[in-house]
Amino acid sequence: MDLILKETRCTATMNKKRIIFYNSILLIVLVIAFVTALIVGRYHISLNTFFKILFGGANRFPVESSIIVNLRLPRTLIALFVGSALSLAGLVYQETFQNKLVSPDFLGVSGGASVGAALAIILGFSSMWLSGVAFIFGIGAMFLTITIAKIMRDHSPTILILSGIIVSSFMSATLSLLKYLAETESQLATITYWLMGSFEYSTMTDVYILAPIVVISSTILFSIRWRINIVAQGPNEAQTQGLNYKLYRYIIIILATLITASSVAFAGVIGWIGLIVPHIVRLFVGKNTKHTIPLVLSFGAIFMIVTDIFSRTFTGAEIPLTAITGFLGAPIFVLILLRKRRIIND
């Protein structure tokens, strides 16, 4: 028996090594993607020039350094935070609601934020106000979803998901009405473009607002990452194992909604990422949130930065982010399903 225990321990150590390996690889790739995002684009900057600017030679390359600092750095940082935030929100929602098809906007957050943004555009608000209104409507939609679920007096995940569908549909109807009321030439185009997600107008001010929200919320979720496993067992199991299920569920919902709503407020609606990144990560390390959460944060950031590079590099006008995440996401999701059903192997 000792031998068997020893073997098991060896496997556990191997698992640990494998997880450290994945984390290291993703961090390296993240750094590479980040640097690539700063130098690649319609105006190409060589790696050499980039390093010269980085190490104090900004004065010699005023155009290049201005492009990097004023245009590419803010949008890449926003992409990093939005990618991590949406992927993390997707994962924790999927675990908490024991439903792998849940994405970060299922509580109606994106729907609410879209209505807020459309309203702000019609009323002619500035972009900062637009983000604010979108954020408030996003959070408001989440509260509406929770209130409807509460009225039903049922704490099951299904009721919350159904309430989310109700609120999302309502928001979608409101959005249609707002689009109908919008001026066709300018406002409707702006609304449509915003709804497909973009980092085109990201500024460092956006970063200063978004970063603390995402960093603080993610740090809290990161610190309770092992316990999210227990939440994923459902109320009866969690409570008899000593977890205050309701409290943890609310902490998770509020933090995940906060980072989703703020991401949507600054980048518009970006589909797919919150759904597929957690699935891809689970394929490699399994379901344990102790391991998946760090990987989802870095992989989500990489996925979003790469999407942003695609969106602005190959065409004259920027391709909306959701169009790219959709094109990448749909086939990846099919591959994941095939792999899960063991139709294809590693």
Partner 1 sequence: MIEYKTDKISYSYTKEDVIKNITLDFKPNTINVLIGLNGSGKTTLIKLLAGIFKPNNGQVQINGKDLCTYSYHERSKFISYVSQELNVGDDYLVEEYLSFGLMNTLKFYQSPTHKSITKVQNAASKFKIYDFLNKRMNELSGGEKQIVSICRAYIQDTEIMILDEPTSALDFKNQNLILNILKEVASVDKIIILSTHNPNHALYLDSNALLIDKGEIIKSGPASVVVKKEILNSVYGNNLKYSKELKYNEITIG
**Site residues for partner 1 per CB under 8 A:** 1, 4-5, 8-9, 11-12, 98, 223-227, 229-230, 232-233, 236-237, 239-245, 282, 286-288, 290
Burial of 295 (0-12, 13-18, 19+ CB in 10 A): buried
CA gap 323, 198 in Å, rounded: 10
Closest approach of partner 1 to the CB of residue 334, in Å: 20
Nearer residue to partner 1 within complex by CB, 127 or 288: 288
Closest approach of partner 1 to the CB of residue 91, in Å: 13
List Cβ neighbours of 211 (8 Å cut-off, separation of 6 or more): 77, 81
**Exposed e or buried b per residue across 45-83, where buried means at least 16 C-beta atoms within 10 angstroms of its C-beta:** beeebbebbeeeeeeebeebbebbeebbbbbbbbbbbbb
Provide the token pair at 212. 């603390």
Nearer residue to partner 1 within complex by CB, 224 or 254: 224
Residue 289 contacts residue 226 (beta carbons within 8 Å):
yes
Query: Both ends of the chain: CA-CA distance in Å?
Result: 32
Provide the token pair at 193. 């473009």
Nearer residue to partner 1 within complex by CB, 247 or 317: 247
Query: How many H-runs (helices) and E-runs (strands) does the chain carry?
Result: 15, 0
List Cβ neighbours of 275 (8 Å cut-off, separation of 6 or more): 90, 101, 103, 329, 333
Closest approach of partner 1 to the CB of residue 294, in Å: 12
In DSSP notation, 305-331 reads: HHHHHHHHHSSSSPPPHHHHHHHHHHH
**Closest C-alpha to 197, from 294, 320, 301, 293:** 320
CA gap 222, 207 in Å, rounded: 21
Nearer residue to partner 1 within complex by CB, 26 or 293: 293
Closest approach of partner 1 to the CB of residue 147, in Å: 24
CA gap 46, 161 in Å, rounded: 48
Nearer residue to partner 1 within complex by CB, 86 or 293: 293
